[in-house]
Amino acid sequence: MEFDKRITGKTNITGVIGNPVEHSISPQLHNTIFKLLNENYIYVPFLVEKNSLEEAVKGLKASNVKGFNVTVPFKKKIMNFIDEPSKEAIMIGAVNTVKNECGKLFGYNTDAEGFARAFKNETGTDFENKNIVVIGAGGSARAIIVKLATEEANSVCIINRTLSKADEISQLIKKNLNYDIKCFQTDEIRAVENLSNADIIINATSAGLYPDTEKMPVSPSYKFTRGQIVFDLIYNPIKTKFLQCAENDGCKIFNGLGMLFYQGILSNEIWLQRKIEDEKVRQLYKEFMNDMGTK
């Protein structure tokens, strides 16, 4: 028998808090990053009871945990317990990455930048001068829309089942970034017109997410315009019904795995306080996609 010496008294602890966390692939991603970088860090899942967030955060803050990710359903609620949220996290209204510096919690949101990096690297284009439709008005839609408005998209239109939630994001962006956004309810004629004329369509709803894989964020009879870039934040399944329909209509399709990967890289860089070399990120990306069975 050989002693397992991977974790020592000096190992730095990171992790993810959420409920559920059993299906998270972040532990595999972050532990692979730490191993590749030869860093004495470990990343573990912390399942937190839905009503016990405050106690859990107090415990993590008082311990030597270096940082943690925050996932469903705590991304918004965690804001109440962060000592210093970043400007972007305040605007988005959610934190997905926390750094613990001697009992002081710094909060960040890496979803927006993670999405932007994945989008640019995978599609080979950016948002400038593009007409973009975002379907959905939840937490991730909000993060993405802040990014699109900041990076000068020609137009952004939100389509959502509940119009009031889309309007709320539109008002926030107008107030903070002085950028106008149109909002429509799903299936409204003007929603369909905007979809048809968009250069880029992003699904930021959970319609189609496992196990409800038959659901679509638009009508199943909707016809995409050939050549459009269609991006779905969902990565389980890897190809949603929405993406399958877009592909059938001649669109270029992208799933949410890249966003998951890059938001993880950005969180890791926050904890390590250093940039991971481009070559290593490329290597990790290839391994990650191979492991997910997509490349």
The single residue among 161, 182, 241, 280 that binds ligand NAP, judged by CB under 6 A, is 161
The single residue among 25, 36, 177, 209 that binds ligand NAP, judged by CB under 6 A, is 209
The single residue among 18, 67, 107, 136 that binds ligand NAP, judged by CB under 6 A, is 136
Q: Which residue among 50, 58, 75, 252 is the active-site one?
A: 75
Q: Which is nearer to ligand NAP, 196 or 236 (CB)?
A: 236
Question: What is the number of other CB atoms lying within 10 angstroms of the CB of residue 72?
Answer: 12
Longest Cα–Cα distance in the chain: 69
Q: Tell me the window of 20-28, 46-54, 97-105, 205-213 that interacts with ligand NAP (CB under 6 A).
A: 205-213
Stated length of the chain: 295
The answer, yes or no, to whether the previous bond of 211 is cis (omega within 30 of 0) is: yes
Q: Tell me the window of 3-11, 48-56, 85-93, 130-138 that interacts with ligand NAP (CB under 6 A).
A: 130-138
Q: Which is nearer to ligand NAP, 29 or 57 (CB)?
A: 29
Give the pairing of strands 65-70 and 84-85: unpaired
Residue 267 binds to ligand NAP (criterion: CB under 6 A)? no
Residue 68 binds to ligand NAP (criterion: CB under 6 A)? no
Distance CA 173, CA 99 (A): 27
Nearest to 224 by CA among 202, 199, 206, 251: 251
Residue 215 binds to ligand NAP (criterion: CB under 6 A)? yes
Token reading at 78: 């965690």
Reply yes or no on whether 147 is catalytic.
no
Residue 233 binds to ligand NAP (criterion: CB under 6 A)? yes
The CA radius of gyration of the chain, in Å to the nearest whole number, is 20
Give the SS3 label for residue 126.
coil
Question: What is the number of other CB atoms lying within 10 angstroms of the CB of residue 235?
Answer: 20
| Separation of CA 193 from chain center | 27
Token reading at 287: 């391994």
Residue 280 binds to ligand NAP (criterion: CB under 6 A)? no
The single residue among 98, 112, 200, 234 that binds ligand NAP, judged by CB under 6 A, is 234
| Minimum distance, C-beta of residue 251 to ligand NAP, in the bound complex (Å) | 19
Distance CA 203, CA 199 (A): 14
Residue 182 binds to ligand NAP (criterion: CB under 6 A)? no
Q: Which residues bind ligand NAP (CB under 6 A)?
A: 111, 136-141, 160-162, 165, 204-207, 209, 215, 217, 233-235, 256, 259-260, 263
As annotated, the active-site residues are 75
